[in-house]
């Protein structure tokens, strides 16, 4: 173990061993989806700011069998109608995209069934190039929500405003 700490200190030139190890862990071991999630969250915040809206987290409770279960959306916005929104990770592979889309569509279905909202907006950066593997989940997402590509902040903000103002 000391060997690895020595290498870390050498690589980071006079950094405390614990800090060097933490940096190496973050750079090489930390789950990439966590980093991508943070980047996506930052991009979504930029889109909201550019669009001039200030959404807030939104939660409601459903009865699922005999259990009361919370259903959470990262963002809710009301302008005559409640719009429920969340970020969807589509750039980290088929498995993560599928999980995020199915989770989002289930929550949207619960919100619709309980008459909480009928307007759902998915915020995502679309993968570059052709990615046929996620095409089925994109179709599912488009059936349930308005998908906003936030690859470009100004364009994403404009499309978000249009989606919100259309309802």
Inform me whether the pLDDT recorded for 34 exceeds 70: no
Q: Where are the domains of the chain?
A: 1-30, 32-166
Return d(Cα 53, Cα 56) in angstroms, integer: 10
- What is the 3 state secondary structure string of 14-58? CCCHHHHHHHHHHHHCCCHHHHHHHHHHHHHHHHHHHHCCCCEEE
Q: What is the pTM of this model?
A: 0.75
**Architecture, CATH, for domain 32-166:** 3-Layer(aba) Sandwich (3.40)
Q: In this structure, what token pair is assigned to residue 89?
A: 């990770």
Return d(Cα 139, Cα 98) in angstroms, integer: 11
Asked whether the beta carbons of 102 and 126 are under 8 A apart, the reply is no
| Residue 118 confidence class, pLDDT cut points 50, 70, 90 | very high
pLDDT tens for each residue of 39-55: 899 999 999 999 999 99
pLDDT tens for each residue of 57-107: 999 999 888 999 999 999 999 999 999 999 999 988 888 999 999 999 999
């Amino acid at each position: 173990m000391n060997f690895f700490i020595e290498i870390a200190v050498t690589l980071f030139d006079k950094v405390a061993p614990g800090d060097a190890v933490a940096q190496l862990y973050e750079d090489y071991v930390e789950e990439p989806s966590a980093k991508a999630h943070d980047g996506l969250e930052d991009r979504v915040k930029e889109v909201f700011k550019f669009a001039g809206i200030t959404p807030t987290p939104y939660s409601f409770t459903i009865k699922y069998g005999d259990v009361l279960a919370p259903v959470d959306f990262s963002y809710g916005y009301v302008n005559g109608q409640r719009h429920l929104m969340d970020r969807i990770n589509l750039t980290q592979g088929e498995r993560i995209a599928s999980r995020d889309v199915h989770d989002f569509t289930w929550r949207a279905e619960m919100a619709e069934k309980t008459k909480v909202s009928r307007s759902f907006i998915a915020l995502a950066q679309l993968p570059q190039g052709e990615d046929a593997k996620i095409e089925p989940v994109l179709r599912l997402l488009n059936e349930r929500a308005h998908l906003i590509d936030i690859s470009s902040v100004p364009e994403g903000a404009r499309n978000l405003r249009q989606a919100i103002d259309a309802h």
